[in-house]
Amino acid sequence: MSDGNGDRQRARRRAVRSVGPPAAESVTSGVTAVPVEAGTTADPAPVALDKATAAEPVALGKAASVEAAAVITEPKVSAVEFGVPPVDAAEPRSGIGVGRVLAWAAAALLVLALVVGAGLSVVKVRSIDARDERRTEFVQTARQAALNLTTIRADSAKQDIDRILAVASGQFKSEFDGRVDPFLNVVQQAKIVSNGEVVEAALESDDVDSAQVLVAVKQTLTNAGQEGPQTRLYRFRITVSRGDAGLTASKVEFVG
Protein backbone atom coordinates (compact mmCIF):
# COMPACT_ATOMS: atom_id res chain seq x y z
CA MET A 1 0.00 0.00 0.00
CA SER A 2 2.76 2.36 0.86
CA ASP A 3 4.40 1.77 -2.49
CA GLY A 4 1.13 2.32 -4.29
CA ASN A 5 0.47 5.50 -2.42
CA GLY A 6 3.98 6.72 -3.16
CA ASP A 7 3.55 6.09 -6.85
CA ARG A 8 0.23 7.94 -6.89
CA GLN A 9 1.78 10.96 -5.09
CA ARG A 10 4.67 11.08 -7.56
CA ALA A 11 2.18 10.87 -10.40
CA ARG A 12 0.20 13.78 -8.93
CA ARG A 13 3.35 15.84 -8.54
CA ARG A 14 4.23 15.18 -12.14
CA ALA A 15 0.74 16.10 -13.18
CA VAL A 16 0.88 19.32 -11.24
CA ARG A 17 4.22 20.26 -12.74
CA SER A 18 3.12 19.48 -16.23
CA VAL A 19 0.24 21.94 -16.03
CA GLY A 20 2.58 24.95 -16.16
CA PRO A 21 6.13 26.00 -15.45
CA PRO A 22 7.20 27.10 -12.01
CA ALA A 23 6.71 30.77 -11.09
CA ALA A 24 10.45 31.39 -10.85
CA GLU A 25 11.00 30.22 -14.43
CA SER A 26 8.03 32.04 -15.98
CA VAL A 27 10.00 35.13 -17.04
CA THR A 28 12.77 33.36 -18.88
CA SER A 29 10.46 30.80 -20.39
CA GLY A 30 8.15 33.64 -21.45
CA VAL A 31 10.96 35.28 -23.40
CA THR A 32 12.59 32.26 -25.00
CA ALA A 33 9.81 29.70 -25.10
CA VAL A 34 8.53 30.80 -28.54
CA PRO A 35 11.26 30.57 -31.14
CA VAL A 36 10.15 31.57 -34.64
CA GLU A 37 12.04 30.15 -37.52
CA ALA A 38 12.41 32.00 -40.79
CA GLY A 39 9.72 31.12 -43.24
CA THR A 40 7.32 29.67 -40.68
CA THR A 41 3.85 31.09 -40.50
CA ALA A 42 2.74 29.30 -37.40
CA ASP A 43 0.85 31.37 -34.91
CA PRO A 44 2.71 32.08 -31.68
CA ALA A 45 1.86 29.98 -28.70
CA PRO A 46 -0.21 31.52 -25.94
CA VAL A 47 2.79 31.37 -23.66
CA ALA A 48 4.53 34.15 -25.74
CA LEU A 49 1.86 36.64 -24.78
CA ASP A 50 2.64 36.66 -21.07
CA LYS A 51 3.15 39.82 -19.00
CA ALA A 52 6.92 39.87 -19.34
CA THR A 53 6.73 39.88 -23.15
CA ALA A 54 4.06 42.60 -23.20
CA ALA A 55 6.12 44.77 -20.88
CA GLU A 56 9.21 44.57 -23.07
CA PRO A 57 8.15 47.25 -25.64
CA VAL A 58 7.50 49.67 -22.80
CA ALA A 59 11.00 49.13 -21.47
CA LEU A 60 12.47 49.66 -24.95
CA GLY A 61 10.41 52.87 -25.42
CA LYS A 62 11.67 54.25 -22.16
CA ALA A 63 15.25 53.48 -23.11
CA ALA A 64 14.84 55.22 -26.48
CA SER A 65 13.31 58.28 -24.84
CA VAL A 66 16.13 58.35 -22.29
CA GLU A 67 18.71 58.19 -25.08
CA ALA A 68 16.92 60.98 -27.00
CA ALA A 69 16.79 63.08 -23.86
CA ALA A 70 20.49 62.46 -23.35
CA VAL A 71 21.18 63.66 -26.90
CA ILE A 72 19.03 66.78 -26.47
CA THR A 73 20.43 67.68 -23.08
CA GLU A 74 24.03 66.92 -23.97
CA PRO A 75 26.03 69.96 -22.84
CA LYS A 76 27.71 71.98 -25.60
CA VAL A 77 31.34 72.86 -25.30
CA SER A 78 31.76 76.63 -25.51
CA ALA A 79 34.55 78.31 -27.44
CA VAL A 80 35.79 79.90 -24.22
CA GLU A 81 36.78 76.48 -22.80
CA PHE A 82 39.15 76.02 -25.76
CA GLY A 83 40.61 79.51 -25.39
CA VAL A 84 38.85 80.89 -28.49
CA PRO A 85 37.45 84.40 -27.92
CA PRO A 86 33.74 84.71 -28.64
CA VAL A 87 32.79 86.44 -31.87
CA ASP A 88 30.32 89.24 -31.50
CA ALA A 89 27.74 88.90 -34.23
CA ALA A 90 27.05 92.61 -34.10
CA GLU A 91 30.63 93.60 -34.95
CA PRO A 92 30.49 92.88 -38.70
CA ARG A 93 27.25 94.80 -38.98
CA SER A 94 28.74 97.66 -37.01
CA GLY A 95 31.79 97.65 -39.27
CA ILE A 96 29.66 97.64 -42.38
CA GLY A 97 27.57 100.49 -40.98
CA VAL A 98 30.62 102.61 -40.18
CA GLY A 99 32.09 101.87 -43.60
CA ARG A 100 28.91 102.98 -45.29
CA VAL A 101 28.77 106.15 -43.22
CA LEU A 102 32.37 106.95 -44.10
CA ALA A 103 31.69 106.23 -47.76
CA TRP A 104 28.66 108.51 -47.77
CA ALA A 105 30.62 111.21 -45.95
CA ALA A 106 33.47 110.97 -48.46
CA ALA A 107 31.01 111.11 -51.34
CA ALA A 108 29.28 114.13 -49.81
CA LEU A 109 32.61 115.91 -49.34
CA LEU A 110 33.58 115.12 -52.90
CA VAL A 111 30.29 116.45 -54.24
CA LEU A 112 30.63 119.54 -52.05
CA ALA A 113 34.18 120.12 -53.29
CA LEU A 114 33.04 119.74 -56.89
CA VAL A 115 30.15 122.15 -56.35
CA VAL A 116 32.38 124.69 -54.61
CA GLY A 117 35.04 124.30 -57.28
CA ALA A 118 32.47 124.71 -60.03
CA GLY A 119 31.04 127.75 -58.27
CA LEU A 120 34.47 129.31 -57.88
CA SER A 121 35.25 128.57 -61.51
CA VAL A 122 32.02 130.23 -62.60
CA VAL A 123 32.73 133.25 -60.40
CA LYS A 124 36.27 133.46 -61.72
CA VAL A 125 35.15 133.18 -65.33
CA ARG A 126 32.51 135.83 -64.78
CA SER A 127 35.07 138.07 -63.09
CA ILE A 128 37.47 137.64 -66.00
CA ASP A 129 34.68 138.28 -68.48
CA ALA A 130 33.63 141.42 -66.59
CA ARG A 131 37.21 142.69 -66.49
CA ASP A 132 37.75 142.03 -70.18
CA GLU A 133 34.48 143.75 -71.01
CA ARG A 134 35.44 146.75 -68.88
CA ARG A 135 38.85 147.03 -70.53
CA THR A 136 37.31 146.77 -73.97
CA GLU A 137 34.98 149.66 -73.12
CA PHE A 138 37.92 151.78 -71.90
CA VAL A 139 39.88 151.20 -75.10
CA GLN A 140 36.85 151.80 -77.29
CA THR A 141 36.13 155.15 -75.58
CA ALA A 142 39.75 156.28 -76.04
CA ARG A 143 39.71 155.28 -79.71
CA GLN A 144 36.51 157.27 -80.27
CA ALA A 145 37.92 160.36 -78.52
CA ALA A 146 41.13 160.26 -80.62
CA LEU A 147 39.13 159.73 -83.82
CA ASN A 148 36.88 162.71 -83.00
CA LEU A 149 39.90 164.95 -82.35
CA THR A 150 41.52 164.18 -85.71
CA THR A 151 38.41 164.15 -87.89
CA ILE A 152 36.92 167.56 -88.67
CA ARG A 153 35.63 169.38 -91.79
CA ALA A 154 34.98 173.00 -92.51
CA ASP A 155 31.42 172.37 -93.71
CA SER A 156 30.51 170.37 -90.54
CA ALA A 157 32.86 171.97 -88.00
CA LYS A 158 30.13 172.82 -85.46
CA GLN A 159 28.78 169.24 -85.40
CA ASP A 160 32.31 167.84 -85.29
CA ILE A 161 33.18 169.97 -82.23
CA ASP A 162 29.97 168.90 -80.49
CA ARG A 163 30.93 165.28 -81.12
CA ILE A 164 34.31 165.92 -79.45
CA LEU A 165 32.67 167.48 -76.39
CA ALA A 166 30.14 164.61 -76.13
CA VAL A 167 32.86 162.21 -74.96
CA ALA A 168 34.90 164.78 -72.99
CA SER A 169 34.97 165.42 -69.25
CA GLY A 170 37.20 166.79 -66.54
CA GLN A 171 40.40 168.54 -67.57
CA PHE A 172 40.05 167.77 -71.28
CA LYS A 173 36.58 169.27 -71.51
CA SER A 174 37.60 172.37 -69.57
CA GLU A 175 40.57 173.03 -71.89
CA PHE A 176 38.60 172.42 -75.08
CA ASP A 177 35.57 174.47 -74.01
CA GLY A 178 37.69 177.63 -73.85
CA ARG A 179 38.94 177.12 -77.43
CA VAL A 180 35.79 176.18 -79.27
CA ASP A 181 35.14 179.48 -81.03
CA PRO A 182 38.76 180.18 -82.15
CA PHE A 183 39.12 176.59 -83.32
CA LEU A 184 35.85 176.78 -85.28
CA ASN A 185 36.94 179.99 -87.04
CA VAL A 186 40.32 178.55 -88.10
CA VAL A 187 38.75 175.40 -89.53
CA GLN A 188 36.17 177.30 -91.53
CA GLN A 189 38.55 179.98 -92.86
CA ALA A 190 41.31 177.54 -93.89
CA LYS A 191 38.75 175.11 -95.33
CA ILE A 192 40.36 172.30 -93.43
CA VAL A 193 39.34 168.77 -94.20
CA SER A 194 40.95 166.15 -92.00
CA ASN A 195 40.23 162.45 -91.65
CA GLY A 196 41.57 160.46 -88.72
CA GLU A 197 42.31 156.75 -88.62
CA VAL A 198 43.17 154.82 -85.49
CA VAL A 199 46.21 152.70 -86.24
CA GLU A 200 46.56 151.01 -82.89
CA ALA A 201 45.23 151.25 -79.34
CA ALA A 202 46.41 149.49 -76.20
CA LEU A 203 45.55 149.59 -72.54
CA GLU A 204 48.37 151.00 -70.44
CA SER A 205 46.78 150.71 -66.98
CA ASP A 206 43.32 150.40 -65.52
CA ASP A 207 41.19 149.99 -62.43
CA VAL A 208 37.48 149.69 -61.89
CA ASP A 209 36.60 153.31 -62.72
CA SER A 210 39.43 154.59 -64.91
CA ALA A 211 42.13 153.60 -67.38
CA GLN A 212 44.97 155.04 -69.39
CA VAL A 213 45.02 154.07 -73.05
CA LEU A 214 47.72 154.68 -75.65
CA VAL A 215 46.31 155.46 -79.10
CA ALA A 216 48.25 155.85 -82.36
CA VAL A 217 46.41 157.88 -85.01
CA LYS A 218 47.13 158.71 -88.65
CA GLN A 219 45.57 161.94 -89.91
CA THR A 220 45.13 162.92 -93.58
CA LEU A 221 44.78 166.72 -93.86
CA THR A 222 44.00 169.16 -96.67
CA ASN A 223 43.52 172.93 -96.49
CA ALA A 224 43.27 175.92 -98.78
CA GLY A 225 46.89 177.03 -98.33
CA GLN A 226 48.56 173.73 -99.36
CA GLU A 227 48.49 171.59 -102.44
CA GLY A 228 47.71 167.96 -101.93
CA PRO A 229 46.94 166.06 -98.74
CA GLN A 230 49.29 165.85 -95.81
CA THR A 231 49.72 162.86 -93.55
CA ARG A 232 50.44 163.30 -89.88
CA LEU A 233 50.95 160.75 -87.13
CA TYR A 234 49.95 161.31 -83.53
CA ARG A 235 50.29 159.34 -80.33
CA PHE A 236 47.92 160.13 -77.52
CA ARG A 237 47.69 159.02 -73.92
CA ILE A 238 44.02 159.30 -73.12
CA THR A 239 42.66 158.93 -69.60
CA VAL A 240 39.20 157.40 -69.59
CA SER A 241 37.01 157.85 -66.50
CA ARG A 242 33.68 156.39 -65.45
CA GLY A 243 31.08 158.84 -64.16
CA ASP A 244 27.37 159.59 -64.13
CA ALA A 245 27.45 160.15 -67.89
CA GLY A 246 29.24 156.88 -68.49
CA LEU A 247 32.77 156.58 -69.88
CA THR A 248 34.42 159.80 -71.07
CA ALA A 249 37.90 161.11 -71.95
CA SER A 250 38.94 163.18 -68.94
CA LYS A 251 42.49 163.94 -70.08
CA VAL A 252 44.36 163.93 -73.43
CA GLU A 253 48.15 164.11 -73.70
CA PHE A 254 50.46 164.06 -76.72
CA VAL A 255 53.15 161.43 -76.41
CA GLY A 256 56.36 161.64 -78.50
Q: Which residue has the higher pLDDT, 13 or 124?
A: 124
The confidence score (pLDDT) of residue 76 equals 54
Measure the CA–CA gap between 114 and 106, rounded to whole angstroms. Answer: 12
- CATH 3.90.1720.10, applies to 135-254: no
Q: pLDDT by residue (tens digit) across 220-240? A: 999 988 888 999 999 999 999
Measure the CA–CA gap between 247 and 241, rounded to whole angstroms. Answer: 6
User: How distant, in Å, are the alpha carbons of 97, 100, 108, 118, 207 from that of 111?
Assistant: 21, 16, 5, 10, 36
Question: What's the alpha-carbon Rg for the chain, to the nearest Å?
Answer: 66
DSSP 181-204: HHHHHHHHHHT-EEEEEEEEEEEE
The confidence score (pLDDT) of residue 27 equals 40
Q: pLDDT band for position 103 (50/70/90)?
A: confident
Measure the CA–CA gap between 168 and 148, rounded to whole angstroms. Answer: 10
The proportion of the chain whose per-residue pLDDT surpasses 70, expressed as a percent, equals: 62
Measure the CA–CA gap between 48 and 25, rounded to whole angstroms. Answer: 14
Q: pLDDT band for position 87 (50/70/90)?
A: low
Q: pLDDT by residue (tens digit) across 157-171? A: 999 999 999 999 999
In the chain, where are the structural domains located? 135-254
The confidence score (pLDDT) of residue 66 equals 42
- Mean pLDDT of all residues belonging to the chain: 74
